[in-house]
C-alpha cells in the first residue's frame, strides 16, 4: 500500500482540529458509514473544555487507494515536546493560517521545527468567509515568515489552498470555490513525498508516543522506518544508554479514522502501534531481534519554567482529596515523566519536588489533571530557569504578539516597556494595532489579567518561547499586597462588608478560612492581616434585620492560571479536587514578621 504522512500545523484557534474532523467525515462517513463527533481529535476533557489541543494524536484516511496518516499537533509552545517528536514521523505538513489574522507566534514555533527537518509545506488559508479576510496578504506574510525562518527554495515554492474548514470546503482558486476537500487530498498526493521505505531491511522504529491499555499494558506508537514486524515476533528494545531488552510484539495495530485496527503485520512507512513492549520510553528504538540498530534519539528543548510541588499541609489538608501523601505525589510524577517528555522532576527534600516544564500552561495543565484525579497539592510561584552561558547569566525570553484596539496600544506598549520588553514590530490593521515584542518570560507572570483590564477584554495576547538572552535586570511585576486572614473560622458578610474598601476579596461570606489563608488583594503595596470571622454584636437596640441591607461586591474568582500568576515568592496555591485557595508559606502572623 502507498502512504503519505502529514502533520497539521497552526496557531491556537485557527481551525486545525475542525479541519481534521472534516477530512474524516468526507472519507469515513461516505465509505464506512462511521459517525464522527465534533472536534473528535480532542479526546481529553481539558482539551474539550479549553478548546485547545494538548496531546499530539494521529488518525488516518484513505483516498484513491492511498493511506494518508494525519497527525494533529498542539499549537502552544508549552507542548513543544509533543510537537518535536511528532514531526519526525511525517514527510510534509499542512500549514493552516487564519485568513484575517495571518501567521501568529505559535504557527512560527512549529513551522521553524518543520523547516529545520526539511518537511514540504502546503499552505491552507482557512476562514476565508470572514468579513475581514485578506487571503492574498496572508499568503505573502506566510512566505515572508518562511523565508525569515530559513526555508529552502523547494519549501518556499509551496502550493496554496483556500478553505472554510467548518463547511468542509477547500479549493485552489478563489474564483472557483468547491464544496468538498477533493482538491486538498489531490494536492497532498501530488506534493507530499511518499516515505522512502525499504521493506526488506531489518525492522526499525523509534518510539514517539506511549499509550496504555488495561488489557494489553503499555502501547508504543511510531513510524516504521524500515522492514516489517509480525504478531508474536521477538524484537530488541534499545534503551537510551545503549542497553537492550529482548521482548515480543503481542499485537500490532494500524490506524483508520479514529480506530486502532488489529493486524497481523505492519511495514515500513506506516504510523503504527505495538502492544507488549513494556519497558519502552519515548525516543528509544524497537529493532530487529537479530540485527538491532539504534535510530538517533529524539532531542527535546530544555524546560524554561519550574515550580515546587508539595503535598497539602494546610489546616484543611485531607478533607477533600483522596491522595494526600508525598509517596503518592512522587509516584504520580514518576508516571507523568514517562509520557510527558519535556517535563523534568527532581526531589529537593523528602516531600518537595521541583517540577520543570516548557511554560506556565504546561505545568498548570498537569496540576489541573492531578487535581481532578483526587490529589491535594500545594505549589509555589512559577520561577524561570536561568542558565550560565560564557559566564553570563541568561534568562528565557518570549516572542509576544498583541492585537489591540488602537486606542489602547500606547498603554500596553508602556506597560510592556516597563517590564523590560523590547518592541520589534508594529503594524496598524484597520481599527486595531498589532505589536510584537521580545519580553523576558518572568515579566509575563501576572500580565494577562492586567492586559485584559487595560484593553477592556478586547485585546488578544499570544506568546511563544523565543531564546535565552542576557539577564535584563530586576523587575517588579506585582504592585499590591495580600489580605491575609488572622483567625480560623467562617467568614461573615458583616466583616467582609466592613473591609471592602481595603481591597478585592477572593472569598464568599460563609466560606471556611484559616490563619494565614489569603482572602483578597490589598489596595496597597504591603500585606495586611484582617479578621473576616467577626460578626456584628446584637443588642436590644440593634435588630438582626438591619443586616439585610449589606451589599457585598462579588468576589474575584481565580482560575488555576490566575492563582499561579498572582502569588508572590512567600505564598502558595493550595489545590484540592473541590477548591483553589491561596495561602502564605508561613501561616502564623507573628512568625511571618
449 is in an annotated binding site: no
Q: Are 218 and 210 in contact (CB under 8 A)?
A: yes
- Which residues, other chains included, contact 270 with Cβ-Cβ below 8 Å and sequence gap of 6+? 1, 3, 67, 69, 223, 224, 254
14 is in an annotated binding site: yes
Write 454-460 long-range contacts (CB < 8 A, 24+).
454/408, 454/411, 454/412, 454/415, 455/404, 455/405, 455/408, 455/412, 456/408, 458/404, 458/405, 458/408, 459/402, 459/403, 459/404, 459/405, 459/408, 459/412, 460/402, 460/403, 460/404
- Which residues, other chains included, contact 209 with Cβ-Cβ below 8 Å and sequence gap of 6+? 56, 85, 86, 220, 221, 222, 282, 339
129 is in an annotated binding site: yes
C-alpha cell at 510: 460563609
142 is in an annotated binding site: no
578 is in an annotated binding site: no
How many Cβ atoms from other residues are within 10 Å of residue 350's Cβ?
A: 9
127 is in an annotated binding site: yes
Alpha carbon of 361 to those of 345, 368, 431, 581: distances in Å? Answer: 17, 10, 31, 19
DSSP labels for 358-396? SSHHHHHHHHHHHHHHTB-EEEE--EEPPEEETTEEEEE
312 is in an annotated binding site: no
- Which residues, other chains included, contact 161 with Cβ-Cβ below 8 Å and sequence gap of 6+? 122, 123, 124, 125, 170, 171, 172, 183, 184, 187
Rounded Cα–Cα distance for residues 186 and 439 (Å): 42
128 is in an annotated binding site: yes
State the virtual CA torsion across 423, 84, 471, 345 in degrees, nearest 10. Answer: 140
Radius of gyration of the CA atoms of the chain, in A: 27
Rounded Cα–Cα distance for residues 290 and 136 (Å): 55
Start-to-end CA distance of the chain, whole Å, equals 72
Question: Roughly what angle, to the nearest 10 degrees, separates helices 447-454 and 406-418?
Answer: 150
548 is in an annotated binding site: no
State the virtual CA torsion across 498, 504, 508, 513 in degrees, nearest 10. Answer: -90
Burial class (CB in 10 A: 0-12, 13-18, 19+), 268: buried
Q: Which residue has the cell 513525498?
A: 193
**236-249 core/surface letters (b: 16 or more CB in 10 A; e: else):** bbbbeeeeeeebeb
16 is in an annotated binding site: yes
Q: Is the dihedral of CA 38, 43, 48, 49 positive or negative?
A: positive
Binding residues for GTP: 13-18, 126-129
Binding residues: 13-18, 126-129
Amino acid at each position: 500500500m502507498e502512504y503519505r504522512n502529514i502533520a497539521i500545523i497552526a496557531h491556537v484557534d485557527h481551525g486545525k482540529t475542525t479541519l481534521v474532523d472534516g477530512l474524516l467525515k468526507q472519507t469515513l462517513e461516505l465509505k464506512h458509514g462511521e459517525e464522527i463527533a465534533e472536534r473528535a481529535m480532542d479526546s481529553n476533557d481539558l482539551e474539550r473544555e479549553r478548546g485547545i489541543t494538548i496531546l499530539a494524536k494521529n488518525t488516518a484516511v484513505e483516498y484513491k487507494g492511498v493511506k494518508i496518516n494525519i497527525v494533529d499537533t498542539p499549537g502552544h509552545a508549552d507542548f513543544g515536546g509533543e510537537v518535536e517528536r511528532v514531526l519526525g514521523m511525517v514527510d510534509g505538513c499542512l500549514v493552516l493560517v487564519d485568513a484575517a489574522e495571518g501567521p501568529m507566534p505559535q504557527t512560527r514555533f512549529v513551522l521553524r521545527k518543520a523547516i529545520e527537518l526539511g518537511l514540504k509545506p502546503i499552505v491552507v488559508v482557512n476562514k476565508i468567509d470572514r468579513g475581514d479576510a485578506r487571503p492574498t496578504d496572508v499568503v505573502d506574510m506566510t512566505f515572508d515568515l518562511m523565508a525569515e525562518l530559513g526555508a529552502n527554495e523547494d519549501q518556499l515554492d509551496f502550493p496554496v489552498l483556500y478553505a472554510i474548514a467548518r463547511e468542509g470546503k477547500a479549493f485552489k482558486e478563489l474564483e472557483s470555490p468547491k464544496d468538498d476537500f477533493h482538491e486538498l487530498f489531490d494536492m497532498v498526493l501530488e506534493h507530499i513525498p511518499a516515505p522512502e521505505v525499504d521493506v526488506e531491511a531489518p525492522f526499525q522504529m523509534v518510539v514517539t508516543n506511549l499509550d496504555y491499555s488495561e488489557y494489553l499494558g503499555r502501547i508504543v506508537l511510531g513510524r516504521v522506518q524500515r522492514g516489517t514486524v509480525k504478531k508474536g515476533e521477538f524484537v530488541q528494545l534499545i534503551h537510551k544508554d545503549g542497553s537492550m531488552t529482548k521482548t515480543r510484539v503481542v499485537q500490532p495495530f494500524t490506524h483508520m479514522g479514529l480506530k486502532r485496527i488489529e493486524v497481523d503485520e505492519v511495514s515500513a512507512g506506516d504510523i503504527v502501534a505495538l502492544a507488549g513492549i513494556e519497558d519502552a520510553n519515548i525516543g528509544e528504538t524497537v529493532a530487529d531481534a537479530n540485527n538491532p540498530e539504534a535510530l538517533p534519539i529524539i532531542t527535546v528543548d530544555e524546560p524554561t519554567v519550574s515550580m515546587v510541588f508539595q503535598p497539602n499541609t494546610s489546616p484543611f489538608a485531607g478533607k477533600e482529596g483522596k491522595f494526600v501523601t508525598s509517596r503518592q505525589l512522587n509516584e504520580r510524577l514518576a508516571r507523568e515523566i514517562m509520557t510527558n517528555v519535556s517535563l523534568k522532576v527532581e526531589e529537593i527534600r523528602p516531600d518537595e519536588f521541583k517540577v520543570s516544564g516548557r511554560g506556565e500552561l504546561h505545568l498548570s495543565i498537569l496540576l489541573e489533571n492531578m487535581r481532578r484525579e483526587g490529589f491535594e497539592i500545594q505549589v509555589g510561584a512559577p520561577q524561570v530557569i536561568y542558565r550560565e552561558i560564557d559566564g553570563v547569566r541568561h534568562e528565557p525570553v518570549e516572542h509576544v504578539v498583541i492585537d489591540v484596539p488602537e486606542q489602547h496600544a500606547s498603554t500596553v506598549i508602556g506597560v510592556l516597556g516597563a517590564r523590560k520588553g523590547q518592541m520589534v514590530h508594529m503594524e496598524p490593521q484597520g481599527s486595531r494595532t498589532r505589536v510584537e515584542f521580545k519580553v523576558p518570560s518572568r515579566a509575563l507572570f501576572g500580565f494577562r489579567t492586567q492586559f485584559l483590564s487595560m484593553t477592556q477584554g478586547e485585546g488578544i495576547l499570544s506568546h511563544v518561547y523565543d531564546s535565552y538572552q542576557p539577564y535584563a535586570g530586576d523587575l517588579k511585576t506585582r504592585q499590591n499586597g495580600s489580605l491575609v486572614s488572622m483567625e480560623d473560622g467562617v467568614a461573615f458578610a458583616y466583616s467582609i462588608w466592613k473591609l471592602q474598601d481595603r481591597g478585592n476579596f477572593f472569598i464568599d461570606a460563609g466560606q471556611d478560612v484559616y490563619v494565614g489563608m489569603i482572602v483578597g488583594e490589598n489596595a496597597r503595596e504591603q500585606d495586611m492581616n484582617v479578621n473576616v470571622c467577626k460578626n456584628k454584636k446584637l443588642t436590644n437596640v440593634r435588630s438582626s434585620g438591619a443586616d439585610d441591607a449589606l451589599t457585598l461586591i462579588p468576589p474575584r474568582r481565580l482560575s488555576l492560571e490566575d492563582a499561579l500568576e498572582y502569588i508572590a515568592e512567600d505564598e502558595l496555591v493550595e489545590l484540592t479536587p473541590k477548591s483553589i485557595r491561596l495561602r502564605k508559606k508561613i501561616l502564623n502572623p507573628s512568625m511571618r514578621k
